[in-house]
Amino acid sequence: MLEIRDLVCAYGQVAALKGISLQVGAGQLVALVGANGAGKSTTLRAISGLVKPRSGSILFEGRDVTGADPRRMLGLGIAHCPEGRRVFPHMSVAENLAMGAYLRHDAAGVRQDYARVYADFPRLAERRAQAAGTLSGGEQQMLAIGRALMSRPKLVLFDEPSLGLAPNIVEQVLSIIRAIRDGGATVLLVEQNAYAALELCDHAYLLEAGRIVMSGPGAELIADPHVRAAYLGGEVETAHRIRA
Amino acid sequence: MTQALQHLLNTLVLGGTYALLGIGLTLIFGIMNVVNFTHGALYTFGAYAAYLACAALGLDFFLALPVAILAGLALGALIELVLLRPLRGSDMDTTMLVMIGAGIILQSGTLWIFGGVAKAIPTPFPDAPLQIGPVSLSWLRVFVFAAALALIAVTYGLINGTRLGRAMRASFQDADTAALMGVNVGFIYTATFAIGSALAAAAGALLGPVYVVFPQMGDLAAVKAFAIVILGGLGSISGATIGGFILALAEEFGAGYVSSGYRDAMGFLIIIAVLLVKPTGLFARAERIG
Ligand SMILES: Nc1ncnc2c1ncn2[C@@H]1O[C@H](COP(=O)(O)OP(=O)(O)OP(=O)(O)O)[C@@H](O)[C@H]1O
Ligand SMILES: [Mg+2]
């Protein structure tokens, strides 16, 4: 569904991506993990068109969409749920959702999707007239997810959706993302919470300093000694202990 | 008592057009982060557009306002596309200098084309004013007040109740994320500058017939617009609305009870006082459009 070939991105003189290639198959949940500054957000920003690549190509459903602007990418069916939630703080919950459906003109379908988001996130329904900036972090993340879904995307890019959330909310967010995949959408998930992402995904890529250094099924990366040492630390043991 | 009532009535009339001026300026600053030094020139432009519509084209007086608004929209869009769009991303000082230059060109152009002699815009209103108890108001001023209120209401409706307005507010709060929602942020900037310009032109077209039309009329209007915006808090539309009426109040009562010579000093006094006491503006919600 999505294919990236030799993608190079830079901010001024700073190279953020030094030629990465990756693939996301239709209906898959693919994780992209890596340390701070590895280039995860830049990858997503390049896909959604916020950052223009220096070279390389991006193919979506077989079409070359390299360098297309965000409006075009959204129109093609790619929604980007950005790092740090980025809800519009002075707009109501309902207006934020309306922004998610900005390009849509099928009023009836949009109404259906409001109803679905409110059904999935009852907290948002209760707070629909409230300014998004006054919501809790978890509620804002739900809103950011709901907003991304309002465009009825084929592919959703999630950038660190668990950032700064309490552990029980993290669980909830991750299960929502799994449900989105199960509902038929394709997901590319960037996570600092490497263990959870690797456990959840169908396939994973490990990004280090602008290069993909490893890829494979999540379980394979979890089992890899380098990944365990550098990214999972005590997490695997802790996670098993919590589960036990 | 009667005198105070009369001043209050005048305040309402003047405040409406001042609010239009201020809203236009604050909208452009709030959404585009551009200090619009052509605002005064656009005010003058609106007055001349109304004058041309009436005197040269022979249009009905009531058509002069829509003509001026459309002309303001067009000139605003042109300025944005030709001057501001290529400068996007450059620093604020560069943009400011370019806008100051553009303002000078517009003003000199007006002087060159129309000469320095003031023009009057003829109005179809009866000479006898409207009597409301002990106070009176010319019919022209009644019209100016009603039109200004209508335009303020339209602007509020546009910003708060339409898809375009929502996209404008979203772009202001977070331009990148607005782009991710499919908003064409470049178009939003053009639309914002055009709308802000049209409001300045409307204010000029409304006050043109009340006073007279001359090339430098925008200088003082620009100072007043800045006073209103500083008073109301940069980027706050409701602040600019209230600020417009406060400035009008200060001018009316300053002129009425201190000395008429101080009328136009009120704007400067307000700027100084606000910057000294509460630099974020009296209604500071500087991070908010609405
Ligand atoms: N707007 C920018 N201007 C300049 N450099 C940037 C910019 N954004 C990111 N970078 C640099 O590009 C590199 C990759 O950044 P990116 O945000 O993609 O990393 P990340 O993997 O998402 O990190 P994090 O986990 O901290 O979100 C970093 O070295 C960063 O400093
Ligand atoms: Mg990031």
Alpha-carbon gap, residue B230 to A11, rounded angstroms: 36
Distance from B163 to chain A by nearest Cα, in Å?
8
> B164, B176, B181: which to substitute to probe chain A, counting the most A Cβ within 10 Å?
B181
Is the pLDDT confidence value at B159 over 80?
yes
Q: What is the pLDDT of residue A244?
A: 46
Which residue shows structure tokens 């209230």?
A: B242
Distance from B148 to chain A by nearest Cα, in Å?
27
A128: its two tokens:
């629909």
| CB of A153 closer than 6 angstroms to any ligand 1 atom | no
For A72-111, what is each residue's pLDDT tens digit?
Answer: 999 999 999 999 999 999 999 999 999 999 999 999 999 9
For B30-70, what is each residue's pLDDT tens digit?
Answer: 888 888 999 999 999 999 999 999 988 888 889 999 999 99
| CB of A33 closer than 6 angstroms to any ligand 1 atom | no
Mean pLDDT over B114-134 rounds to 87
A2: its two tokens:
């999505």
Contact A156, A149 (CB under 8 A): yes
Alpha-carbon gap, residue B138 to A71, rounded angstroms: 52
Closest chain A CA to residue B163: A102
Q: Give the pairing type, strands A155-159 and A186-191.
A: parallel
B90 touches chain A (CB under 8 A): no
What is the identity of the amino acid at B117? V
Q: What is the ipTM score, two decimals? A: 0.90
B118: its two tokens:
């003031």
**Between these two residues, A197 and A230, which has the higher pLDDT value?**
A197
Backbone φ and ψ of A98, nearest 5°:
-60, -35
Backbone φ and ψ of A215, nearest 5°:
-150, 160
Is the pLDDT confidence value at B286 over 50?
no
Contact B45, B204 (CB under 8 A): yes
A71 touches chain B (CB under 8 A): yes
Domain count, chain A: 1
Chain A environment of B169 (Cβ under 8 Å): 88, 90-91
Residues 6+ apart with CB under 8 A from B248: B10, B11, B12, B13, B14, B15, B18
Is the pLDDT confidence value at B287 over 70?
no
Contact B21, B221 (CB under 8 A): yes
A window 79-118, beta carbon within 8 A of B: 79-80, 82, 86, 88-91, 95, 98-100, 102-103
A133 touches chain B (CB under 8 A): no
Is the pLDDT confidence value at A154 over 90?
yes
Q: What is the pLDDT of residue A235?
A: 55
Residue A129 lies in a domain: no
A94: its two tokens:
């309902």
* Element housing B135 (H / E): strand B135-137
Residue A166 lies in a domain: yes
What share of chain A has pLDDT > 90, as a percent?
75
Angle (nearest 5°) at CA A226 between A223 and A230: 110
Q: What is the pLDDT of residue B240?
A: 92
Query: What is the domain-level CATH number for residue A185?
Result: 3.40.50.300
Structure letter (DSSP) for residue B119: B
Is the pLDDT confidence value at A180 over 70?
yes
Residue A128 lies in a domain: no
Contact B203, B219 (CB under 8 A): no
Chain A environment of B163 (Cβ under 8 Å): 102
Mean pLDDT over A45-69 rounds to 94
Q: Which CATH architecture has domain B2-123+140-277?
A: Orthogonal Bundle (1.10)
Is the pLDDT confidence value at A243 over 80?
no
Cβ contact A102–B182 (<8 Å): yes
For B62-113, what is each residue's pLDDT tens digit?
Answer: 999 999 999 999 999 999 999 999 998 888 889 999 999 999 999 999 999 9
Task: Give B175 Cα–ligand 1 centroid separation in angstroms.
Answer: 18
* The most confident of A22-26, A222-226, B53-57, by mean pLDDT: A22-26
Q: What is the pLDDT of residue A167?
A: 87
- How many other C-beta atoms lie within 10 A of the C-beta of residue B83? 17
Task: Tell me the torsion sign for CA atoms A71, A73, A79, A82.
Answer: negative
Residue A200 lies in a domain: yes
Task: Give A160 Cα–ligand 2 centroid separation in angstroms.
Answer: 7
- For ligand 1, atom 3: residue with the closest CA: A11
Q: Give the pairing type, strands A203-208 and A29-34.
A: parallel
- Pick from A18, A33, A40 the residue to mutate for probing ligand 1's pocket: most ligand atoms within 8 Å of its CB: A40
Residue A115 lies in a domain: no
Is the pLDDT confidence value at A237 over 60?
no
Q: What is the pLDDT of residue B202?
A: 96
- What's the whole-number average pLDDT of chain B? 89
Nearest to B166 among A70, A86, A95 (CB): A95
B179 touches chain A (CB under 8 A): yes
Q: What is the pLDDT of residue A166?
A: 87
Residue A143 lies in a domain: no
Instruction: Indicate the pLDDT class of residue A132, thresholds 50, 70 and 90.
Output: very high
Contact B232, B239 (CB under 8 A): yes
Output the CA–CA distances (angstroms, integers) from residue B59 to A24, B51, B99, B136, B215, in the order listed.
Answer: 64, 10, 32, 29, 22
Q: What is the pLDDT of residue A240?
A: 53
Q: What is the pLDDT of residue A112?
A: 93
A14 bridge partner residues: A11
Instruction: Indicate the pLDDT class of residue B127, thresholds 50, 70 and 90.
Output: confident
A151: its two tokens:
């465009």
Structure letter (DSSP) for residue B129: P
For B249-270, what is each residue's pLDDT tens digit?
Answer: 988 888 878 777 778 887 788 7
Task: Give A29 Cα–ligand 2 centroid separation in angstroms.
Answer: 18
Chain B environment of A144 (Cβ under 8 Å): none
- For ligand 1, atom 17: residue with the closest CA: A41
Q: What is the pLDDT of residue B284?
A: 58
Contact B33, B259 (CB under 8 A): no
Residue A96 lies in a domain: no
Mean pLDDT over A160-166 rounds to 89
Q: Provide the domain limits for residue A72.
A: 2-90+152-243
Burial of residue A100 (CB within 10 Å: 0-12, 13-18, 19+) is: buried
Contact B212, B55 (CB under 8 A): no
| CB of A45 closer than 6 angstroms to any ligand 1 atom | no
Residue A10 lies in a domain: yes
Rg (CA), chain B: 19
Is the pLDDT confidence value at B288 over 70?
no
Contact A210, A20 (CB under 8 A): yes
Cβ contact B181–A99 (<8 Å): yes
Burial of residue B200 (CB within 10 Å: 0-12, 13-18, 19+) is: buried
Mean pLDDT over A153-172 rounds to 91
SS (H, E, C) chain A: CEEEEEEEEEECCEEEEEEEEEEECCCCEEEEEECCCCCHHHHHHHHHCCCCCCEEEEEECCEECCCCCHHHHHHHCEEEECCCCCCCCCCEHHHHHHHHCCCCCCHHHHHHHHHHHHHHCHHHHHCCCCEHHHCCHHHHHHHHHHHHHCCCCCEEEEECCCCCCCHHHHHHHHHHHHHHHHCCCEEEEEECCHHHHHHHCCEEEEEECCEEEEEECHHHHHHCHHHHHHHHCCHHHHHHHHHC
- What's the whole-number average pLDDT of chain A? 90
What is the identity of the amino acid at A34? G
Q: Give the pairing type, strands A14-24 and B130-132.
A: unpaired
Residues 6+ apart with CB under 8 A from B274: B230, B231, B281, B282
Contact A131, A90 (CB under 8 A): yes
Q: Give the pairing type, strands A55-60 and A203-208.
A: unpaired
Task: Give A81 Cα–ligand 1 centroid separation in angstroms.
Answer: 17
A133: its two tokens:
């900036």
Is the pLDDT confidence value at B289 over 70?
no
Contact A9, A54 (CB under 8 A): yes
Q: What is the pLDDT of residue B93?
A: 87
- Pick from A13, A14, A33, A50 the residue to mutate for probing ligand 1's pocket: most ligand atoms within 8 Å of its CB: A14
What share of chain B has pLDDT > 70, as a percent?
97
Domain boundaries, chain B: 2-123+140-277
Mean pLDDT over B137-148 rounds to 93
